[in-house]
Amino acid sequence: MLERRRSSPGDDLVSTLIAEEQDGDRLSDVELVNLVLNVLVGGVDTTQSQLAHAVRLFAEHPEQWERVRSDPETFVALAVEEALRYEPITPFTARIMIEDVEYGGVTFPEGTIVLVGTVAANRDGVEDADRFDVAREPTKPLTFGAGIHYCLGANLAKAEMQEALAFLAARVERFELTAEPGFDTVQGVYGMASLPVRLVPG
Ligand code: HEM
């Protein structure tokens, strides 16, 4: 992949990364491969898993799907926000303390790995937080992380999910689970292991 782009660069991400230079420093081959892998794995598995959860949630809450279908212009974007808040496919984000940090009266010594629980954080200060409700004012979930490592693809992921839900809203009257869905573990990307669902057209 790198050799092909090195010998004939094009208007694409890999060629741009190869050419990138800062203070006379370029990305090594290992860094380039890791970065491209991150974008591919981080960009595909994530969004499709989040979408699978959204479909499952709508199968479990048909009245919410009816609401989306009644006014997709308003509710598709809100539905995406609510699925991201309610069932984040990234249940934890992690940070390593590079110095002692005191927070809430607790000192986290340098070197500590802190796992931040997204599911709980997404419910903090949110009214009736355990209710899946597409009419909710968008909150500020931690699903895409925070700070300088905030997800690079957050807007793309939301746009893809909105496209998918708008497409389905125009064609599917309801989703019916035909068996118990299976859940992945919460390590890594937390998606659906199985989602036996019938799409009833309408
Ligand atoms: C629903 C879909 C997605 C979710 C929930 C998600 C979630 C996350 C989270 C939690 C992080 C770590 C943020 C932090 O530690 O503060 C992250 C980082 C990242 N995401 Fe996503 N992501 C999604 C889709 C995507 C897509 C579509 C792309 C690319 C096309 C992408 C590319 C990346 C990259 C490159 C990083 C690393 C950013 C950095 O370290 O500076 N993600 N994502």
How high is the pLDDT of residue 102? Answer: 96
Structure tokens given for 74: 């308003």
pLDDT in tens, 65-100: 999 999 999 999 999 999 999 999 999 888 999 999
Is the CB of 153 within 6 Å of ligand 1? yes
Taking the C-alpha atoms of residue 94 and residue 105, their distance in angstroms, rounded to an integer, is 20
User: For residue 55, is pLDDT > 80?
Assistant: yes
The phi, psi pair for 142, rounded to 5°, reads -95, 5
The answer to whether 160 touches 153, Cβ cutoff 8 Å, is: no
Res. 196 pLDDT band, cuts 50 70 90: very high
51: left (phi over 0), alpha (psi -120 to 50) or beta: alpha
pTM exceeds 0.75: yes
How high is the pLDDT of residue 7? Answer: 86
Is the CB of 93 within 6 Å of ligand 1? yes
| Structural domain boundaries, residue 103 | 2-201
- How many domains, in total, are found in the chain? 1
Residue 154 Cα, ligand 1 centroid: separation in angstroms?
Answer: 6
pLDDT (mean) for 168-190? 95
Query: Looking at residue 110, which CATH number applies to its domain?
Result: 1.10.630.10
User: For residue 119, is pLDDT > 80?
Assistant: yes
The answer to whether 147 touches 49, Cβ cutoff 8 Å, is: no
Structure tokens given for 95: 């940070």
Is the CB of 47 within 6 Å of ligand 1? yes
Give CA angle at 42 (36, 47), nearest 5°.
Answer: 140
